[in-house]
Every structure is written in C-alpha cells, then in structure tokens.
Chain A
Amino acid sequence: MASRLTQQNRAGWLMAGPAFLLIAVFLIIPFFMAIGFSFTNQRLVSPNPTEWVGTANYERLFGLAVLTLEAERDEDGAVRTKDGEPVFPSLRSYTRNKDDHPEFYRKREWFSFGRGEDRRTFVLATDVVFLKAVRNTLFFVIVVAPLQAAAALGLALLINRKVRGINIFRTIYFMPVVISMVVVSMLWRFIYDGQNGLLNTVLDLLTFGWFEPVDWLGQTSTALPSIMAMSIWQGVGFHMIIWLSGLQTIPASLYEAARIEGASRWQTFRYVTWPGLRNTAILVMIIITMQAFTLYPQIAVMTGGGPLDSTQSIVFQMVERGYGRQDISGGSTISVFLFLFVLSISLLQRWLTREK
C-alpha cells in the first residue's frame, strides 16, 4: 500500500509539475519580485548596486500637498487682476524653495479651484502624469463596466428569442470580439479622424448636415470618451454571450408560471430573469473590470496618452517607465498599485453583489 501511495505521489507530481513550475516562474515569482523591487531603485541594467529605498517610490507616485494662496493686491488693497482673473503669487516660490517649504519642493500643479474672490486652492503633486493616469483609468472603469454590461445584457435579451435568422444576428454582434484590439484601434483612428473621419460623415448624413465635424481624438473633452465607445463596441459581444448562457440556465417553467400569473414584461424581467442572473452578473462585472483596468493597446495605438495627458492610463505609464525608461522599480511600484486596485475592486463587487 505504501509503495502504491509513493507511486501515485510521483505520477501526480510528474504530471502536474511542469504546469505548476511555469505558473510559478512566470507569474508568481515576478509578482513577488514586483513587491520587492518597489522598495528599491532597481534598474534593468545599471553599473551601480541596487539599493533599498524604503517607501520612496510610493511617496513619489502619491506625493500630494495642498496650498491655498491669497490673490495679490495693489497699494490700495484692491485685488490685482489680469484679463479679469485675479493674479496669484508664483507657485515656483513655493515649489523651488527647499528650505522654507520642504513639503512643496519639486511638486507641480495638478489642478486648482477658486474659493471666493481672492483665494485659490492649488493641489500640488510630485507625479502629476501618474495621478492623471489613475484618474483616467478609474473614469474609464466606472463608465465602461456598467455601460458595457448593460448593453451586453440588452443584446442578450434581444437575441434570446426564437425567430427565424436570429443566429445570423448573434454571429454579427459577436464579430468584433475575434478582431484584435490593436486592429480595432487602428481602424477607429480613421473613423474618428477630424477631416476624413467616417463618424463625422455618418453623423452629418443622419442630421442632414446640421452636425459640425469634430476631431474626436484630438481634443481633451472627447478623446477618452471616444476610446470608451470603441472599447465597448469591441467587447460587448463577449459579455453578450456570457449573459446569454446565464439566461439559458433559467428554467422555462418559471417564465410559463409568470405568464399564467399575468406578469407584465417588466415584472417578468424583475422577478424571474434578474434573480436568475445573479452569479452571471458578478462574473460579467469582474471580467469587464479586470479588462478595463489593463487599458493599454487603445492608448498606445490611438493617442499615446495625449492630448495633454487626457488619455494616460495606469498600464501605459507602467510600460513607459518599466520598459521605456528601464526603471524597473518605478514600473514595479505601479504594478503593485494596479494589482491592489484590481483586487479591491473585485472584492468590493463581490461584497456588493453578495447573497443577502
């Protein structure tokens, strides 16, 4: 019996070993390396030995300070204005003065807001671009996840009926999913173009010439929303299929009962369909969120983070530093942050959609 067990142990390890080894070397070890590197100044190639730097990398990413300034006044005590706006003392006197204001040293203005006539609060950050990337990514996730999930559910309900030819529509709606996001991004660069773009043409035709052409990717207000719309276009078919397989697990007898009870369409959805989709909903939200957090090819192909950093994303910044500047520790710090972000959002979603 003992020999049989050892023989089973050997066979078991031998067969599962290679797969486990690959996962350990190429996922688990690098994950712990990322945590380790984030506390050092590791570079890809460097003549100097790597040093332990504590939390310096994190402080550089998240260094924030708030500064409220009074507007400058002339001799009579009236607020000095330029082009109708009050004039404030130069921020440089704070951010370049290590001795008097160490907390503002080498920080840059992230954003500011006025407080009354003569005061203005400036939010300063060590790494403005990274914080913009975090803000954009969060915005992307918060908009895309619910919109894409809802649109996918709508499509799934639409094609979950028995009419002739419905499979053709299912096939078409799913089509963009099998096209690479890199290809889709390149194609949509042309569609969004300000001069020859197809989207402007279509909108012009639909509104009989009332529509003013827009350079969708060229201005800060429309660049990120345009990328969101395209991402939903590419990914919605994937989640439609997952919703659809969830819909098909709901027994037909429940719908039959609802019909006999005289339930309206909305009531049937609210009390039969939706409760049956609970687990599917959790899964769809987690998958979309994880995909949305790793926003990269769209940015790399379409905008490179511009205009004015309005489409910077966390992963784009991570590659820019870890690969572009060969700053392994800086890129690793962003990786750790990204992982904690993804993890906490999926835990939050699990908790919000928990069984009550």
Chain B
Amino acid sequence: MTLERKTRLIGLYLFLGFIACIFVLPIIFMVMSSFKPDLQLLSDSSSMRAFLPVGEIGLDNYRDAFRRAPVGLFIFNSVFITATTLGLSLFLASIAAFSFVFIEWRGKTVVLAIIIATYILPFETVAVPLLLLVNNLPWLSTEGVTWGWLNSYQVQIVPWIIRALEIFLFVQYFRDLPRDLVESARVEGASWFQVYRRVVMPLSGPVIATVAILKFLEMYNNQFIWPIMVVQEEGLRPIMVGLLYFFQLNTAWGEIMAYLTIITVPVLAFYLVLQRAFIASIASTGVKG
C-alpha cells in the first residue's frame, strides 16, 4: 500500500468516525444520564463528562421512574398490543396476498387496486373521523354486546392490523415463487388453505421477517397520536403515551432518561442482533416501489 493510499484511508476512517459520533453520542448520553442523580446530570452536561459513566452511578432513577408511573403495566400494554397486531397482520395480509396471486376470482383486480391506492392515505388524515366511528362500533364481550370502543385494547389493535404496504410486500414475494408448486399441490387434492399453510408459507421466511420488523417498529415505536385520542384510562395506555407522566413542573431529567432507556434499549438490542434483517426490511420497501 502506498503512503498516499494509506493517508487517504485514514482520512476516510476519521470522517466516517466523526459522522458516527453525531449519531451515537446522543444515545450514549441518554444511557449514561439515566444512572446519574439530577444535580450531577445537569453539571456534567457542561463538559464531556456527559458521555462517561463517572461520579455517583446508581439505579435510583429507575426505582423512582417505576414509582412515579406504572411502567411495568405500560410495557405490558405495548408488548401485548404489538404482539397481537403483529400476529393478526402477518396472517391476514399473507392469506389475502395468497388469494390475490394464486386464485382466480371475480373482482380481485379491482379489490387489489383499491387496497394499493390506500397507500397514499396517511393514517393522520382519517384519525378524526375514525375517532367518531370507533366511538359507535359494537363489540362482543362476556357482558354481551357493548357499544363504543374508546378505552379498550381493541381500539388500539383492530384499526392497525392491515396496511396496504404489508399486502403489497407479500404479493411481490409470492409472484416470484414458482407456480408449479401450487399447481401440483392442487392436483394432488390439497385445499387452498392447505396449499397456503403447507406449501407457500414455509417458503416465505424472508418476507415474513420483513413485514414483522416493519410492523413491530410501527406498533411499538409510533403508537402515540392515536392512543392519546382514544385511551384516557391509564391502565390501558402504551409506553410512548406513558411518557406524559414525566412532564411535571420540575422536570426530573434523570427519571426521564431512565424511562427512555427502558423503552429504547430492548429495541436497540433487537436491532443489533438482527441488523441484517432490519436493514433488508427497510431496503425492500424501496424495491420496485
């Protein structure tokens, strides 16, 4: 390697590292601050000590955060809502896409076109009328038929199950599968549902991972505007809305950083372990868009 090449390479790494600092330092600051008492947190922020685990390090902020708000309950709510929506979404989106790709039925081109067209309809543009709609929907429970979905789990789950993107991703993937597999299974007498379950789904690992990751991020990270509108009952709120508990007159930054760390670190860990799948899932939203 020539000297010139070497210097250029070092320059490149310095530049890459500088940009990496911009992305990673705020996150390091968040985690470090969650272990510091408020006074020290504030004084540390005027120097590079803000990014280091120095001084009085402890878990007091975590204890206080759990005292201030039902953090465990919020985590349970978010995990429950995310998992249920994710499961239903994977099932209903994939089986619908299966029907669009492999079965001939009257009206399917129109139905698929309508579904794809809703891609340009951001949720925000329907949130207000949907608020009125869910306030008047029936629900079957152990107490019989009840009216109005406000303050419930279903109001946070059912409207989010299906989006055009998920069906679209499955359709794209199924179109590239060899059709002979489906044909021969049908000739052997398998029902459509058996073909879906035994032949197509076992081959669909990559697209299932993609949809699962996108849905997970949407449900765990971005449930904010809708639950604020439809859930006033504390016990049913998800973690992002739980953050509102920490808006007090005297902002306790240590507790806030602890809460932010609790809700972020699992996602970050998940991302670092499965980063290839995460990045592939984002990339696939761009293919053939």
Contacts and interface: CB of A to CB of B under 8 A. Distances in A.
A26 B134 CA distance: 9
Contacts of B253: 190
Contact of B133 (A15, A33, A242, A336): A33
A293 interface: yes
A12 B108 contact: yes
Given A11-B103, A16-B99, A198-B50, A174 B130 contact: no
B131 A182 contact: no
Contacts of B45: 190, 196-198, 201
Contact of B279 (A25, A191, A241): A241
Contacts of A279: 289
B145 interface: no
Contacts of A159: 16
Interface stretch (A53-61, A113-121, A294-302): A294-302
Interface in B97-150: 98-100, 103-108, 111, 114-115, 118, 120-133, 135
Interface residues of B, number: 93
B196 interface: yes
Interface stretch (B58-66, B157-165, B177-185, B203-211): B157-165
B285 interface: yes
Contacts of A188: 26
Nearest to B105: A12
Contacts of A198: 26, 29, 45, 50
Given A11-B99, A34-B125, A175 B271 contact: yes
Contacts of B84: none
A44 B42 CA distance: 44
A23 to B, nearest CB: 6
Interface in A8-34: 8-9, 11-16, 18-20, 22-23, 25-31, 33-34
A207 B287 CA distance: 44
Contacts of B133: 25, 29-30, 33
Contacts of B118: 23, 27-28
B13 to A, nearest CB: 8
Contacts of B46: 196, 201
Q: Which of B122, B164, B272 has the most CB of A within 10 A?
A: B122
B181 to A, nearest CB: 18
Contacts of A342: 120, 122, 125
A305 interface: no
A173 interface: yes
Nearest to B285: A242
Interface string A184-200: 00111011000011100
B48 to A, nearest CB: 8
Nearest to B221: A180
Contacts of A241: 279, 282-283, 286
Contacts of B124: 294, 296, 315, 318, 335, 338
A356 B253 CA distance: 54
B230 to A, nearest CB: 9
Interface residues of A, number: 94
B287 A245 contact: yes
B127 A187 contact: no
Interface stretch (A65-73, A75-83, A142-150, A164-172): A164-172
Nearest to B288: A279
A28 B135 CA distance: 17
B222 interface: yes
A329 to B, nearest CB: 9
A183 B122 CA distance: 22
Contacts of A322: 127-128, 131, 229
B57 interface: no
Q: Which of B42, B124, B135, B222 has the most CB of A within 10 A?
A: B124
B158 A26 contact: yes
Contact of B127 (A171, A301, A319): A319
A172 B20 contact: yes
A181 B92 contact: no
Nearest to B253: A190
A20 B166 CA distance: 12
B286 A319 contact: no
Contacts of B161: 22
Given A22-B162, A241-B279, A245-B286, A34 B126 contact: yes
Nearest to A9: B105
B217 A163 contact: no
A278 to B, nearest CB: 12
Given A27-B118, A172-B24, A190-B253, A280 B196 contact: no
A130 to B, nearest CB: 14
A180 B240 contact: yes
B228 interface: yes
A169 B126 contact: no
A158 interface: yes
Interface string A325-356: 00010011011101100110010000000000
A63 interface: no
Given A328-B131, A328-B132, 7 more contacts: A30-B130, A176-B27, A180-B264, A181-B221, A196-B42, A328-B129, A332-B129
Interface of A: 5, 8-9, 11-16, 18-20, 22-23, 25-31, 33-34, 37, 42, 44, 155, 158-159, 163, 166, 169-183, 186-188, 190-191, 196-198, 201, 205, 233, 237-238, 241-242, 244-246, 279-280, 282-284, 287, 290, 293-294, 296-297, 300-301, 315, 318-319, 321-323, 328, 331-332, 334-336, 338-339, 342-343, 346
20 contacts: A19-B92, A25-B133, A27-B126, A37-B128, A163-B9, A173-B23, A174-B275, A176-B23, A176-B27, A178-B217, A180-B222, A180-B267, A181-B222, A182-B240, A183-B260, A186-B243, A190-B33, A198-B26, A237-B23, A334-B128
